[in-house]
A and B are shown apart, each in its own frame.
Chain A
Amino acid sequence: MGRHLRYLLPLVIFGVLAGFFYKGLDLNPTELDSPLIGKAAPSFTLPNLHEPDQSMSPDDLRGQPWLLNVWASWCVSCRQEHPLFMELARRGDVPIYGLNYKDERPDALAWLRQFGDPYSASVSDYEGRVGIDYGVYGVPETYVIDGRGIIRYKHVGPVTPTVLTNEILPMIEELRG
């Protein structure tokens, strides 16, 4: 009997997987409530992507709301949302800062040259440590951070025009107001 149990193994493995998938359905990755919302944005000091000898920290940005966009040159979905950020940067409604996540610097710079650079500045998180602090699930992600450095909103996945007009921009208005 004992050796027959191994034939049950595939079923057991599938059962465990199915359990995770079921849980996964509730954890809709694009609408996650981040435990960080309402809390202070985790602090960091990271090198500037363009000038690596200069570093940057979110504490430098106190006083005005801003967007933190997590991106990478290897991230295909980032290409989808990128034109929106280009447009947003052109209008100048809100400064956008980029967290270049687990990326090679030359790749990242090349990517910005090709698709345009909407970021007031980008910092590089080569090892992804800051990403862990922020609970980065997948790239791209976008955070709204207010003038006191509190995370007010988080969007996982590419920002769509709907999300931008219905969620992000009103939130910025409110924070300004």
Chain B
Amino acid sequence: MIPEIGQFALIIALCLAIIQTFFPIVGAARGNAAWMALARPVAQGQFVFVALAFACLTYAFVTNDFSVLYAASHSNSQLPLLYKVSAVWGGHEGSLLLWVLFLSTWTLAVTVFSRALDEAMLSRVIGVLGFVSVGFLLFMLFTSNPFERLLPAAPDGRDLNPLLQDPGLAIHPPMLYLGYVGFSVAFAFAIAALLSGKLDAAWARWSRPWTTAAWVFLTIGIALGSWWAYYELGWGGWWFWDPVENASFMPWLIGTALIHSLAVTDKRGTFRNWTVLLAITAFSLSLLGTFLVRSGVLVSVHAFATDPERGVFILAFLAIVIGLSLALYAWRAPKVGFGGDFKLASRETMLLTGNVMLSVAAGAVLLGTVYPLVHDAMGMGKLSVGPPYFDAVFLPLMVPVIFMMGVGPISRWKKTSVPELKTRLRWALGAGVIAALVFPFVMGGWSILVALGVLMAFWLFGAGVVNLVTRVTTMSGSESVTAKLAKQPLHYYGMLVAHAGVGIFVLGVTFVNGYEQEKDIRLDLGDVVTMDAYTFRFDGVVQVTGPNFKAHRGIFVVSEDGEPYTILHPEKRIYNSQQNPMTEAAIESGFFHQLYVSLGEPVGGGSWSARIYFKPFVAWIWAGCGLMGLGGILAISDRRYRIASRAKKAAAKGAGLAPQPGQGVATKPASAMASGVDS
């Protein structure tokens, strides 16, 4: 009964989504207030029914209802509760439902937090979101119904892929999807603006917090996925340039460009049609990611959930959504114009350069991802593109981006003085050069790549410090330094933290690539391996039983400089329902390094093969991502968004008209404007 309620709820949600698309958009075009007024309640209703459907599916998993085909293929009665819940999105149908749930959640958030937005704009935004929802609900109901029954019911479920039975992976897809789907809001704002023809700074201001929020989720989602691959696949890598990883990385790159471009459109009214294009592209790439993952067009590690039949549907939907948006863009963008001019030496130029580099990087990733397919479709034969290509194109593109990240925030809008920049930033550059010369020696050997990485990281840190110092010293008033620091807006600290996060990330990548040590060895009982200051003694293997698996658990006693340090327990697991062994690496994480042991195969006579890594600074990779995410959160928390929306609301009430852009700017400290150091 419950699954039928779920299915019925989906059908109602579809009907509501159709209403949510048609009436608000047409109403906005015709100025019909009654039709526009439908947008909010209908969108909220859609959320209720999608949430109900999701609850029904979760119920089927938690209660082991294996008469539901999807539950029978992705769950198992022995599965721990956490994984029963995460198994809901462990396969195709459920992850689609999660997608739609998030879409309607974001839409709900728009209806709640955008009360001050003028009615026509809000209607269009909600209408566009409704349209996307229609597509996905149709897709689900026609090709991928999660509530399909299996009669007679299976005695037990086939089980969740053991690779996915992991706390990191339980929350990785929801984070990633929140990010993917979150770009739909920026997309809807862009389309609404194109429809209305009002691509002004107000539009950019409204889009900013939504875009940043989506970007934060995507950042965390990608980082979790990378962390999972690192310890679950058992070979110590953290990024594989797999098509599915690329599918999440492309929207991230474009999303990063979009955040910065929106800032320029918001502050300076320029970059307009470029910003719109980025907003459309970011969401298009999110849809493309869904298509690539779900259609089976590309072979990948994630191939546990593919089906070419469904690919046709997603592709058609993709063609409609992206095709229409880009056609609308081609029609309206020429009238919008780029807006505002600026000198070559200006913050706009720095941001545009960074933007273009990020877009080119996304293009390069797209090319590498689809090249095998294009090559094949052209009848030129089959080939594969591996990490060497991506590594080779990525580094040269990221070096200028990081350079701009140092220069951009400190330069002035419109026109900046190059000599002044040089004077200020020489300290940052100096810090970078000294660090690049010294650090590699401390770490155990100088190499050009390590030096470059250190230079970039310290350049970023240095530029951040210079920026903060400049900002405080040029601030007028006689308050103490702490008072001045406290006066800086949160979004400014957000920028500093996020950019420092990139520096931390770069350091992590540099040191782990430069100095990691790795040993693949055959170990007899009592054998000893030494790596850096650590000695690993192999004390054999014991058998253990988990809730739904059996495992061989290795015992590695680790000592540091002869002192007892820790005991590591890598495992080789066989899950009851499936026969493939799974590697569970054991990791000891310190601040500056990780010790990583993964158990290989028994090689006879009680000896085993094993892999031992010493990975300096590896955790900094994810810590850097965490800081980037934190920076985004700080930026969203800034009070100017709340002030802006309140000011708008008052103005809208007072004049009965849509307010003009730039009201929020009045709340900014005057000194910050004078120094020109402002985001």
Q: Which of B296, B299, B581, B600 contacts A77 (CB 8 A)?
A: B299
Q: Which of A27, A113, A132 contacts B373 (CB 8 A)?
A: A27
Contact with B along A93-114 (1 / 0, CB 8 A): 0000000001000000110011
Chain A residues near B297: list those with CB within 8 A.
21, 24-25, 29
Contact with B along A63-97 (1 / 0, CB 8 A): 00000000000101101100100000000000000
Q: How far is the CB of A101 from chain B (nearest CB, A)?
A: 8
Chain A residues near B312: list those with CB within 8 A.
25
Chain A residues near B483: list those with CB within 8 A.
none
Counting CB contacts under 8 A, is B334 at the interface? yes
Q: How far is the CB of B382 from chain A (nearest CB, A)?
A: 3
> Which of the listed residues A7, A132, A135 has the most CB atoms from chain B within 10 Å of its own CB?
A7
Chain B residues 600 to 615 lying within 8 A of chain A, measured CB to CB, are: 600-601, 609-611
In the complex, the answer to whether A7 meets B322 with C-beta atoms within 8 Å is no
In the complex, the answer to whether A7 meets B376 with C-beta atoms within 8 Å is no
Q: How far is the CB of A155 from chain B (nearest CB, A)?
A: 12
Given contacts A27-B377, A28-B296, 7 further A-B contacts (CB under 8 A): A4-B334, A14-B322, A20-B377, A27-B373, A29-B376, A137-B372, A138-B372
Counting CB contacts under 8 A, is B564 at the interface? no
Chain B residues near A4: list those with CB within 8 A.
334
In the complex, the answer to whether B330 meets A8 with C-beta atoms within 8 Å is yes
A94 to B137, CA, bound (A): 48
In the complex, the answer to whether B520 meets A113 with C-beta atoms within 8 Å is yes
Known: A27-B373, A113-B600. A76 touches B242 (CB 8 A): yes
Counting CB contacts under 8 A, is B329 at the interface? yes
9 A-B interface contacts by CB (under 8 A) = A7-B329, A10-B277, A14-B322, A25-B312, A28-B308, A29-B298, A29-B376, A83-B579, A136-B384
Chain B residues near A114: list those with CB within 8 A.
235, 520, 598, 600-601, 609-611
Counting CB contacts under 8 A, is B240 at the interface? yes
Q: How far is the CB of B163 from chain A (nearest CB, A)?
A: 9
In the complex, the answer to whether A116 meets B298 with C-beta atoms within 8 Å is no
In the complex, the answer to whether B329 meets A11 with C-beta atoms within 8 Å is yes
In the complex, the answer to whether B609 meets A113 with C-beta atoms within 8 Å is yes
Chain B residues near A32: list those with CB within 8 A.
382
Counting CB contacts under 8 A, is B315 at the interface? yes
Please name the residue on chain A nearest to B309 by beta carbon: A25
> Which of the listed residues A8, A24, A139 has the most CB atoms from chain B within 10 Å of its own CB?
A24
Per CB-CB distance, the 8 closest pairs between chain A and chain B, nearest first, are: A137-B382, A11-B326, A110-B520, A114-B600, A23-B377, A76-B301, A4-B334, A8-B330
Residues of A within 8 A of B (CB): 3-4, 7-8, 10-11, 14-15, 17-18, 20-25, 27-30, 32, 74, 76-77, 79-80, 83, 102, 109-110, 113-116, 132, 135-139, 156-158
In the complex, the answer to whether B311 meets A25 with C-beta atoms within 8 Å is yes
Q: Which of A14, A30, A137 contacts B376 (CB 8 A)?
A: A137
Known: A29-B297, A132-B383. A77 touches B303 (CB 8 A): yes
Q: Which of A3, A113, A138 contacts B299 (CB 8 A)?
A: A138
Counting CB contacts under 8 A, is B381 at the interface? yes
A113 to B373, CA, bound (A): 33
In the complex, the answer to whether B601 meets A116 with C-beta atoms within 8 Å is yes
In the complex, the answer to whether A157 meets B374 with C-beta atoms within 8 Å is no
Counting CB contacts under 8 A, is B370 at the interface? yes
In the complex, the answer to whether B327 meets A11 with C-beta atoms within 8 Å is yes
Known: A18-B318, A113-B609. A7 touches B520 (CB 8 A): no
In the complex, the answer to whether B295 meets A25 with C-beta atoms within 8 Å is yes
Q: How far is the CB of B370 from chain A (nearest CB, A)?
A: 7
Q: Which of A15, A30, A102, A137 contacts B296 (CB 8 A)?
A: A30
In the complex, the answer to whether A18 meets B580 with C-beta atoms within 8 Å is no
Chain B residues near A15: list those with CB within 8 A.
323
> Which of the listed residues A4, A22, A29, A157 has the most CB atoms from chain B within 10 Å of its own CB?
A29
In the complex, the answer to whether A157 meets B299 with C-beta atoms within 8 Å is yes
Please name the residue on chain B nearest to A110 by beta carbon: B520
Please name the residue on chain A nearest to B319 by beta carbon: A18
Known: A14-B322, A29-B297, A110-B611. A76 touches B233 (CB 8 A): yes
Q: Which of A21, A23, A24, A83 contacts B581 (CB 8 A)?
A: A83
A32 to B291, CA, bound (A): 20
In the complex, the answer to whether B377 meets A157 with C-beta atoms within 8 Å is no
Q: How far is the CB of A33 from chain B (nearest CB, A)?
A: 12
Counting CB contacts under 8 A, is B256 at the interface? no
Q: How far is the CB of A22 from chain B (nearest CB, A)?
A: 6
Q: How far is the CB of A15 from chain B (nearest CB, A)?
A: 7
Counting CB contacts under 8 A, is B387 at the interface? yes
Known: A10-B326, A14-B322, A25-B308. A20 touches B373 (CB 8 A): yes
Q: Which of B300, B377, B520 contacts A24 (CB 8 A)?
A: B377
Q: Which of B330, B376, B518, B601 contacts A11 (CB 8 A)?
A: B330
In the complex, the answer to whether B601 meets A115 with C-beta atoms within 8 Å is yes
Known: A11-B323, A18-B323, A83-B580. A30 touches B387 (CB 8 A): no
Q: Which of A25, A74, A80 contacts B580 (CB 8 A)?
A: A80
In the complex, the answer to whether A135 meets B382 with C-beta atoms within 8 Å is yes
Please name the residue on chain A nearest to B281 by beta carbon: A10
Please name the residue on chain A nearest to B300 by beta carbon: A77
Contact with A along B513-547 (1 / 0, CB 8 A): 00000101110000000000000000000000000
Counting CB contacts under 8 A, is B396 at the interface? no
A18 to B383, CA, bound (A): 20
A109 to B520, CA, bound (A): 9
Known: A14-B322, A80-B580. A136 touches B382 (CB 8 A): yes
Chain B residues near A30: list those with CB within 8 A.
296, 299, 303
Please name the residue on chain A nearest to B291 by beta carbon: A21
Contact with A along B364-399 (1 / 0, CB 8 A): 000000101110110001111011000000000000
Chain A residues near B308: list those with CB within 8 A.
25, 28
Please name the residue on chain A nearest to B374 by beta carbon: A20
Chain B residues near A24: list those with CB within 8 A.
297, 373, 376-377
Chain A residues near B326: list those with CB within 8 A.
10-11, 14
A32 to B296, CA, bound (A): 13
Chain A residues near B319: list those with CB within 8 A.
18
Q: How far is the CB of A84 from chain B (nearest CB, A)?
A: 9
Counting CB contacts under 8 A, is B284 at the interface? yes
Contact with A along B273-305 (1 / 0, CB 8 A): 100010011001000000100011111110100
In the complex, the answer to whether B330 meets A22 with C-beta atoms within 8 Å is no
A22 to B300, CA, bound (A): 19
Please name the residue on chain A nearest to B243 by beta carbon: A138
Chain A residues near B383: list those with CB within 8 A.
132, 136-137
Counting CB contacts under 8 A, is B333 at the interface? yes
